[in-house]
Amino acid sequence: MRIVLLGGDGIGPEVMAESAKVLRALIPGIELAEHPLGAAAIESDGDPLPPATLAACLASDGVLMGAVGSDAYAWSARNPEDGMFELRRQLDVYANLRPFHAPGVDLMIVRELIGGLYFGARGTRPDGTVFDTCEYHPDQVRRIVRKGFELARARGGRLTSVDKANVLATSRLWRSTAVELAREFPDVALDHLLVDTAAMKLVQDPTQFDVIVTENTFGDILSDVAAAIAGGLGEAASACLTDDGPGLFEPVHGTAPDIAGKGIANPTAMIRSTAMLLEHGLGLPLQAGRLDDALDRAIATTATPDRGGAATTAELGDAVLAQLERTEVGDVL
């Protein structure tokens, strides 16, 4: 198995090192190849997504990506995030899965990842007007909503489609597509919420949701709301999937430049993303469960500063390794 590691920027390389540790422990002989992305790639190659990085990702069995971004390039014509967006587009990872767990909460947000505002035409007109275009092709909507139905069928059987159909034409297409596809999934209960109502209900009572499917910008915002409810961005993981090709797996948190290089970043989200790589990217659910279980045990006794402890990034990674050594694959089902 060949996995590409994109450490990215800020704390990205630090937390990525802990994922490399656990992957080598779980899959002896796994091939891990490190490549630059984002600000680090601009500095080394003059390009946020160097051709060699893209080629390695396309030829891999899966990609792990750290946080990307730097204030030094925040307002430049080509910024680090451009590399991330282009990588998502090239891999066609249209389905972003973001699971959230808290007492009484077991929620999956399914976010469309390569359409909408973030990928539409943008620019400035001669009169100074600035524009960003949100557009979706019916096929883009159909495949992500179908993914939401499939996941809901395998979970609690409830799908909430989130849109802004009272205002936006793209949302009206979204809602009509969800209604159309519901006929193929009679065992899944479908309901619709406007995005502002969905945000309010998430804060009021997240236990009422099973699977939420929504477009790119709405999914970005709602995922952060759900992360705050479930313990913060520092522990939120995600999987970005396509129908044919390697997936992209990444933590939801940012580059945290204020603590970068200090060795105190919490690698939980990165390791959770590694478990999602094992399950959704490599088809190894037992190893994924084993890693999640080892991480749960490790964080119960080893806390990084953001969780009120004094453990370093590496110490938490070592604690996960120690827990892995105590279990066999068959212990976690």
**118 counts as catalytic:** yes
Confidence of residue 278 (pLDDT cuts 50, 70, 90): very high
Instruction: Count CA atoms within 13 Å of residue 273 on its CB side.
Output: 35
Q: What is the pLDDT at residue 333?
A: 36
CATH architecture of residue range(s) 1-93+242-333: 3-Layer(aba) Sandwich (3.40)
Place of tokens 């035409």: 121
Rounded average pLDDT over 142-149:
98
Which candidate, 202, 247, 254, places its Cα nearest to that of 97? 247
Place of tokens 């995600």: 238
Q: How do the domains of the chain map onto residue ranges?
A: 1-93+242-333, 102-235
**94 counts as catalytic:** no
Place of tokens 């990217």: 281
User: How far is residue 272's CA from residue 235's CA, in Å, rounded to a whole number?
Assistant: 8
pLDDT at 327 over 80: no
User: How far is residue 228's CA from residue 15's CA, in Å, rounded to a whole number?
Assistant: 20
Q: What are the structure tokens assigned to 74, written together? A: 């925040």
**220 counts as catalytic:** yes
> How do residues 73-102 score in pLDDT, each as one tens digit?
877 777 899 999 999 999 999 999 999 988
Confidence of residue 332 (pLDDT cuts 50, 70, 90): very low
**164 counts as catalytic:** yes
pLDDT at 25 over 90: yes
Q: Which residue is catalytic, options 132, 191, 196, 331?
A: 196
User: How far is residue 169's CA from residue 59's CA, in Å, rounded to a whole number?
Assistant: 38
Rounded average pLDDT over 235-245:
92
Confidence of residue 233 (pLDDT cuts 50, 70, 90): low
pLDDT at 107 over 70: yes
User: How far is residue 288's CA from residue 50's CA, in Å, rounded to a whole number?
Assistant: 30
Q: Which residue is catalytic, options 47, 94, 163, 164?
A: 164
Q: Which residue is catalytic, options 73, 118, 210, 292?
A: 118
| Amino acid sitting at position 74 | A
User: How far is residue 329's CA from residue 333's CA, in Å, rounded to a whole number?
Assistant: 8
Q: What is the pLDDT at residue 236?
A: 86
Residue-by-residue DSSP string for 186-210: TTSEEEEEEHHHHHHHHHH-GGG-S
pLDDT at 26 over 90: yes
Q: Which residue is catalytic, options 224, 293, 306, 318?
A: 224
Confidence of residue 328 (pLDDT cuts 50, 70, 90): low
Element (H, E) at 221: helix 216-229
**Mean pLDDT score of the chain:** 94
**224 counts as catalytic:** yes
What is the topology classification, in CATH, of domain 102-235? Answer: Isopropylmalate Dehydrogenase (3.40.718)
Do the domains spanning 1-93+242-333 and 102-235 agree at the CATH topology level? Answer: yes
Q: Which residue is catalytic, options 9, 47, 220, 292?
A: 220
pLDDT at 280 over 50: yes
